[in-house]
Amino acid sequence: MKVSQHDNTTVFTWDSSDPVGIDFRNLVKGHYKNLHEQNIVIDLSAIDGLKTKHVLEFSELNAYNKEKVLKSFVVVVGTMSIAEIPDEIATAPTLQEALDIVDMEEIERDLGY
């Protein structure tokens, strides 16, 4: 797993040597504890055959980051269809689009929306 910093956002990127599913979520969760109060982007776009269940593994972290920390949480899903993913989980096809979502949500929070 690659962890990188983009301004006020921490990006966790899945690597081919990483586990998939709950095991990857637990790996992220272990690092997440040290990065609270950050916008979070989880980049799963490199996973071949990415499924809705892989994205849903991050529901708990998504809710916590948005409701308790009051920061953004976005999952990069590549070309996967997002039709079955609940609207509560923000998704983007690319890392740049995920970072754009974070920027837009930061502006909304600054304006009090």
Residue range 85-101, pLDDT digits in tens: 999 999 999 999 999 99
Say what the pTM is.
0.93
Please report which confidence band the pLDDT of residue 28 belongs to, taking 50, 70 and 90 as the band edges.
very high
Radius of gyration of the chain (CA): 13
* Domain with 85 in it: 2-111
Euclidean distance between CA atoms 85 and 24, whole angstroms: 18
As a whole-number percent, the residues of the chain with pLDDT over 90 amount to 81
Tokens of residue 47, six digits: 């996973």
As a whole-number percent, the residues of the chain with pLDDT over 70 amount to 99
pLDDT of residue 22: 87
Answer whether residue 35 shows pLDDT above 80: no
- Rounded alpha-carbon distances, angstroms, from residue 37 to 50, 59, 65: 28, 17, 8
What CATH number corresponds to the domain at position 101?
3.30.750.24
Considering its fold, how many domains does the chain have in total? 1
